[in-house]
Amino acid sequence: MPLLGFHQARRAPLSRWQRTVQALSWPRPGGMLLSAAGAAVVLAAAVGVQSAYPFQSTTAAPAQRSPEPAAVAGNGPASGAPPVLPTAAAGLAAHAGTPPSSIPGGAPTTAAPVPPVASGPQAAAVHNMSNPASVLVLVNKHHPLNPLDYQPPDLVTPNVPAGPGELVLLRREAAAAVERMFAAAGSNGVSITVQSSYRSYATQVSLYGSYVAQKGQESADTSSARPGYSEHQTGLALDIGDANVGADCEFTICVEETAAGRWVAAHAADYGFVVRYPPGLQAVTGYLYEPWHLRYVGTAAALDMRARGIPTYEQYLGLQGAPGYK
C-alpha cells in the first residue's frame, strides 16, 4: 500500500473497527456518551489523586501577646521591642532567607508543611528535639522537658567570670564551649560574665510557686516560666552580662548595646550558641527579645542557622510558633 500523504486525494477504505469508532465518535450521540464517561473517569482520578496527598493546610493560631518573663524565674525581665506577629509564612520565608521583618504579620495564615530534611545538622536537630539528653533538645511553651523534672547528668562549673554569688553550672559540652567563647571574646578585649545558668526543676517549682501565691497563676505566667518549661533546666542555657557595664544593664535590652552583647550576636554561633530569643519573634519563641540569653545547640546547628539566616530554633525545626502555654 502506497504511503498516503497529508493531502491524500482519496480515502483509504475503513476497516470494520474504524467504522465502529467513527460511528461512536463526536458529534454523534454515542460519541457524547463516550465523552461523558471519559470526563467522569478523569474527574474521579483527579479526586483520587488529591485525596492521596496528605498535605493539609493548617491555619496558624492567631498570635497573641505573651507573658513577659522575669529575670529571676523565666528568662530575664522583658523589655524593649514591641511584639511583631510572625506567621507561619515568616518561618518559611526565613528558610528562604527572607528577613522575617519583611513579613506582614497578624492575620491567620495558611501554613504549608516544611519538607523534611533527609540529612545534615537540621535533620539531626529534628531527630533529637524531644530528647532531653541531647544538646539539640527543644524547650519552649509548647514543648516542656520530658520528664518534666529532667536533670542533666553532667553539670560542671566552667572556669569563667560570673556575677556576684552566681554558681555557674552547665553541661560539660556547653561548659567547655563557654570557656572557649569567653576566652576568644577576652582576646578581643570583651569581658563577658555569666549572670545565670542551670536552674533545677525544684528551683523553678519554688520560684513559680511563689509567683502564683502572690499574684495568681495567670499573672505568674507573665513573669515566671513554669517548671519543666525553662531552657535553663537543660543545663545548656546561660544569661550573659558585660563585666564593664553596671548592674543596671543586666537582663535588660541594653545588653544588646554592650560590647559583650554585640560580640555574642556576631560570634556565638562559632562556639555553638544561638541568641535564642531574637527581636520581634515573640510569637515564635514565646519570649520578647533577650540579647543576654544564649542557648548551646552545638556548632553544626548554630552555624547552619546563621549561614541560612534562620533566626529561631523553632523555625529551624520547621515548627509553628509557641507564643503561650497550650
Binding site for Zn ion (CB under 5 A): 75, 239, 293
* Residue-level length of the chain: 326
In the complex, what is the shortest distance from the CB of residue 76 to Zn ion, in angstroms, rounded to a whole number?
Answer: 5
**Which C-beta is closer to Zn ion: that of 161 or that of 309?**
161
In the complex, what is the shortest distance from the CB of residue 215 to Zn ion, in angstroms, rounded to a whole number?
Answer: 21
Q: Is 290 a catalytic residue?
A: yes
**Which C-beta is closer to Zn ion: that of 226 or that of 293?**
293
**Which C-beta is closer to Zn ion: that of 122 or that of 313?**
313
d(CA 175, CA 167): 13
d(CA 71, CA 78): 8
User: Which ranges in the chain belong to alpha helices (H)?
Assistant: 16-24, 29-52, 88-95, 121-128, 172-187, 201-215, 217-220, 259-267, 282-285, 299-308, 313-316
**Which C-beta is closer to Zn ion: that of 75 or that of 320?**
75
Q: Nearest to Zn ion by Cβ — which residue?
A: 293
The residue from 231, 250, 256, 290 that is catalytic is 290
Cα separations in angstroms, 39 against 29, 32, 48, 49, 122: 15, 10, 14, 15, 45
Which residues, listed in sequence order, are joined to residue 162 by a DSSP beta bridge? 194
In the complex, what is the shortest distance from the CB of residue 61 to Zn ion, in angstroms, rounded to a whole number?
Answer: 25
Which residues, listed in sequence order, are joined to residue 263 by a DSSP beta bridge? none
C-alpha cell at 25: 465518535
In the complex, what is the shortest distance from the CB of residue 204 to Zn ion, in angstroms, rounded to a whole number?
Answer: 12
Residue 159's identity, in one-letter code, is: N
**Which C-beta is closer to Zn ion: that of 121 or that of 241?**
241
In the complex, what is the shortest distance from the CB of residue 59 to Zn ion, in angstroms, rounded to a whole number?
Answer: 31
Distance of alpha carbon 48 from the chain centroid: 34
- Catalytically active residues are 290
